[in-house]
Amino acid sequence: ARPKVGYLYSKRGGNSIIYDYIKEVKVAEIKTKPAVVTEDTTVYDAIVQLFLEDAGTIFVTNNGHLTGAVSRKDFLKIALGNTDIHKVPVGIIMTRMPNIVTVTDNDTAYEAAKKIIEHEVDSLPVIEKTVTEDGKDILKITGKVSKTNITKLFVKLGSGN
């Protein structure tokens, strides 16, 4: 046990414990309920939903499968443009799969945070992937991990809970 004692006195060692600990926390433990609408929802109604759920990103499904996402920033751009937000469906303006970065329950919170920073997004959908008989991927959204979830986890770690 001798070398382990070093953890207590060297900065590097203290760090090791922190990052081992941080890497234990799984996406499943910190994910929360995502705001979801269907592709045929108008942009306006999708924005209303965004406000109602106080979400930063809205996820879009078709027949129960995740097909897209729209952020507050995307909506703000659209709202300033010439799009008739009362007529155009959200499916037209969304970022479409496979251009959405995702995580699964078993990924770590650390991996999720890294993806959020690297891909410069506010929120990741947590997905369950199944493959149909004819070899198609089906993505079900089971939650989301956002910068808010990571910030909450940081506060929780700092509180010693």
Binding site for a second copy (CB under 8 A): 1, 4-5, 7-8, 14-19, 21-23, 44, 47, 51, 54, 72-73, 75-77, 79-80, 85, 109-110, 113-114, 116-117, 120, 147-148, 150-155, 157-160
CB of 132 to a second copy, least distance (A): 35
Q: Which is nearer to a second copy, 98 or 158 (CB)?
A: 158
Written as six digits, the tokens of 57 are 């990103």
Q: Which is nearer to a second copy, 126 or 139 (CB)?
A: 126
Contact 122, 71 (CB under 8 A): yes
Sequence letter at residue 141 = I
CB of 101 to a second copy, least distance (A): 14
Q: Which residue has the tokens 């924005």?
A: 47
CB neighbour burial string for 60-83, b if at least 16 within 10 angstroms, e if fewer: bbeeebbbbbbbbebbeebeeeee
CB of 57 to a second copy, least distance (A): 11
